[in-house]
Amino acid sequence: MIMNFRNLADLSVLILLFLLPKLNMAQNAGIAISEINKVSSFPIVDGGKAAPIYIDNNDAEVVGIAAEAFKDDIHLLSGSTSQINKNNAVLSAYPIIIGTVGQSRYIDQLLKSAKINRATLSGKWETFSISVIENPLKGVKRALVIAGSDRRGTAYGVFQLSRMLGVSPLCWWADVKPATKKSLYIQAGQPLVESPSVKYRGIFINDEDWGIQPWAAKMMDTDVKDIGPKTYTKIFELLLRLKANYIWPGMHPSTKAFYYYANNPVMADKYAIVLGSSHCEPMLRNNVFEWAENFEHEYGKKPGEWRYDLNKNEIANYWTDRVKQAKNYESVYTVGMRGIHDGSMPGPKDKNEKVKLLGEVIADQRTILSKNITKPINFIPQIFCPYKEVLSLYQAGLKLPDDVTIVWADDNHGYIRQLSNPEEQKRSGGSGVYYHISYWGAPQDYLWLSSISPSLISYELSKAYQYKADRLWVINVGDIKPAEMETQFAMDLAWNVNQWKPEKADQYAESWAAETFGNEFAKPIAEIKEVYYRLAQAAKPEHMASVNFTDEQAEERLAAYQRIYDQAKSLNGKMPSRLKDAFFELVLYPVEGAMLMNQKILYAKKSLVLAANGNQSALTYSKKSKAALDQIQLITKKYNEEIAGGKWNGIMSWKPRDLAVFKMPKVADSVTAKPLDHNMEPENKIIIRAASFTEKSVPKGLTLQTLKGLGLGGNGISLYPFTFAPISETALLNAAFVVYNVDFKTKGLHQIEVKCLPTQGVNNGIKVRYAISVDNDKPQIINISPVSENNIWKQNVLQGYASGITKHEINKTGKSTVKIYMLDPGLVINQLEIQ
């Protein structure tokens, strides 16, 4: 095709029209990091020199702390050192300006001259803006400006920029050393403006007796031999880098109360971290230490009974003293009462009387807060956590003040027990979630490795968010290590709940690995993590002694673990030396540890079976089992004594609480002379992955999602949104359904087991049901959620699935159709097993 232009002007106009969309796209693109200087780029590091940083001395302390950390990050990245200037009237031609609205004269000046959009920051919670501004102030050609709506907003902006430049939030906590860069530039574009999805986001340091407490005593706070200000300073910086703001400090008997060390709350305030306390520590009081152990030292007498109905005045005075001590620090007060530690509230045996007493406790606690803090009570953040037995008291009619935030708990194994119903969602205090990725308790602990997947975390917390649980998320992370990746994921999700929705959460591992180890390692690390999480869903390493596998399943597990270990070992050989420690901590140790635990348990069982059958190879498997235990101890010794030059000495125990699962199981030590007859018929079972349906029907307003990385076998199907109304058993025509084709080889009675994620009903009274029909026979309704946390629940959380079993009369061989109706929100179907 030939086009004729009458003159150059026509051609010029056409070229301009062609380029305009691209020019507009470039102008609308956000700021970006580059190692190449372009027109309109801001030079953070150029020609071996780092741009100077300017802050206002009147700004919050955390702003100065963040600026110093940013200076250190620039040096870590480039070897160049930036200078921090405070209150300078004259700025350089290319300054980095860091400050808070109303606290920094630089920022206020830029707001006044409309160089920063006031509407993006003014009156907002923890919001930041990062922008490159031309000629912002007199004598300044171009500035990189990090502005915050409040003190934390500013700090988050600084650490977000560090992360974009290549400094991992885990730079100190997992020794993730960034690649060095000669030059660093910010390409100008639309300002990056962010604010959090969840108001309070943080962690609970818990069950710290075998990890962070002995490590802190040995390596950090050596003067007090405990988790003290030096350790907490590192924890608080981690929280800021994760854009988190909240902590429940360690509170086990191994650890003295947070307030025992005067500098702990001082450091928290400097780092702008909001202090809270766990479900069994009302009013910021650590009862395990402060009531049971230190009361006499504090008050000069022994405490009376921990019973509010019998010892009200002493307990109320104890709470009042802490409120007076804490009133100038940003805090969230836990209200209510449990036992001194993790037990039920002592008091009357009658449940109604107990509910009445708990109501009195909360009313008195609020009076204490009102009398000692100069804010209206509904402006003092308070939470009530219906954890364990407290949930039954709440359900029995406890009248909770409207402005108190209900923090719903999971079942300690990653499945949320209950969320706000429509009436509760109207409460001014809103709701939140207390969620575990580490746990000590029934039916079995998981304190050694971290193996709850991002897909499960996202599914449960996204569900909670849809039920308006957006006020506070606190994650029980144990000792932080080795749960760094999962902690980072939870905080990334809390900051932006839309970034890692359940349908995308399986992609997090690759994104995280690219950020942590570099693009070339991202895919293989993600593949390793995917298998690691899938295997742990069927039995966490700590639960291996409590879950039975068939011989075939055991062999599959061992082969899969061996594969990902070999992959990890191969990657380790290619990893740059600066990242070897990080790779060991974040990938190799958990993968090898999990593999060895499976080998120890499964080889031991195999040795006994072979020995009973007179097979001499039994003794070989006994040796392999023992060798696996020896190797677990060796790699743990390496973690503590060699990695990062011994920095983590004491952080990692291979046998928390010295439980039986960590010890040597029984193995064959001799072989029976006469083989036993084990001619068992092989089990003929058809296994169908839930996502492989041949037909589906989904009502308007709902979508059926296939969720990779979620549940048994590595994926599941579920309905969105989570807030749809349950379908009545008499209205199945209104339900979403999926259809599977099954080829039955025999007629007669067949069994279908539907394996699902062991979720619980979203509200009190709502179940987790499906209905099933074969060849249009009468649908059978199954609820897979146990009525209480009974033996069925115990087995469900250990084996990673809940299931329903139905019997069906099949009248013909060949093709049949199995139809499954999905009746309740939160149902995730993983696979069908047909016999």
pLDDT tens-digit series, residues 105-138: 999 999 999 999 999 999 999 999 999 999 999 9
Q: Are the C-beta atoms of residues 31 and 130 closer than 8 Å to each other?
A: yes
What are phi and psi for residue 291, nearest 5 degrees? -95, -50
Distance (Å, whole) CA 835 – CA 817: 15
Structure tokens that stand for 90 in this block: 């004259």
pLDDT at 72 over 90: yes
- What secondary structure does DSSP assign to 226-267, as a single string? SS-HHHHHHHHHHHHHTT--EEE---STTS--GGGSTHHHHH
Q: Are the C-beta atoms of residues 589 and 639 closer than 8 Å to each other?
A: yes
Go through the chain and tell me how many residues it has: 835
pLDDT band at 826 (very low <50, low <70, confident <90, very high): very high
Q: Could you give the angle at the alpha carbon of 637 between the alpha carbons of 634 and 641, nearest 5°?
A: 145
pLDDT at 262 over 80: yes
* Average pLDDT estimate for 192-218: 98
How high is the pLDDT of residue 787?
Answer: 86
How high is the pLDDT of residue 788?
Answer: 87
Residue of 590, 596, 599, 584 whose CA lies nearest to 641: 584
C-beta neighbour count of 303 within 10 angstroms = 20
How high is the pLDDT of residue 6?
Answer: 38
Q: What is the pLDDT of residues 504-522, one digit of tens each?
A: 999 999 999 999 999 999 9
Distance (Å, whole) CA 708 – CA 698: 20
Q: Could you give the angle at the alpha carbon of 736 between the alpha carbons of 733 and 737, nearest 5°?
A: 95
- What are the residues facing 446 on neighbouring strands? 439
pLDDT at 158 over 90: yes
Contacts of 236 (CB under 8 A, 6+ apart): 247, 267, 268, 271, 273
Specify the amino acid at residue 797.
V
DSSP-derived 3-state class of residue 832: strand
How high is the pLDDT of residue 7?
Answer: 45
How high is the pLDDT of residue 674?
Answer: 62
How high is the pLDDT of residue 722?
Answer: 98
pLDDT band at 764 (very low <50, low <70, confident <90, very high): confident
Q: What is the pLDDT of residues 269-321, one digit of tens each?
A: 999 999 999 999 999 999 999 999 999 999 999 999 999 999 999 999 999 99
Q: What is the pLDDT of residues 638-666, one digit of tens each?
A: 999 999 999 999 999 999 999 999 999 99
C-beta neighbour count of 308 within 10 angstroms = 19
How high is the pLDDT of residue 26?
Answer: 37
Distance (Å, whole) CA 418 – CA 432: 11
pLDDT band at 19 (very low <50, low <70, confident <90, very high): very low
| Radius of gyration of the chain from its Cα atoms, rounded to whole angstroms | 29
Per-residue buried b or exposed e for 366-399, using 16+ beta carbons within 10 Å of the residue's own CB: bebbeebbeeeeeebbbbbbbbbebbebbeeebe
Distance (Å, whole) CA 497 – CA 459: 11
The mean pLDDT of the chain is 95
Q: Are the C-beta atoms of residues 679 and 236 closer than 8 Å to each other?
A: no
Q: Are the C-beta atoms of residues 603 and 649 closer than 8 Å to each other?
A: no
Give the burial class of 630: count Cβ atoms within 10 A of its Cβ; 0-12 exposed, 13-18 middle, 19 or more buried. exposed
**Residue, of 789 and 270, whose pLDDT is higher:** 270
pLDDT over 70, % of the chain: 95
* Average pLDDT estimate for 704-715: 97
* Average pLDDT estimate for 771-794: 96
pLDDT at 16 over 50: no
DSSP-derived 3-state class of residue 218: helix
- 788 secondary structure, DSSP code: S
Q: What is the pLDDT of residues 368-408, one digit of tens each?
A: 999 999 999 999 999 999 999 999 999 999 999 999 999 99
pLDDT at 4 over 50: no
Count CA atoms within 13 Å of residue 704 on its CB side. 21
pLDDT band at 681 (very low <50, low <70, confident <90, very high): low
pLDDT band at 3 (very low <50, low <70, confident <90, very high): very low
142-148 and 96-100 as β-strands: parallel, antiparallel, unpaired? Answer: parallel
- 697 secondary structure, DSSP code: E
Distance (Å, whole) CA 1 – CA 753: 65
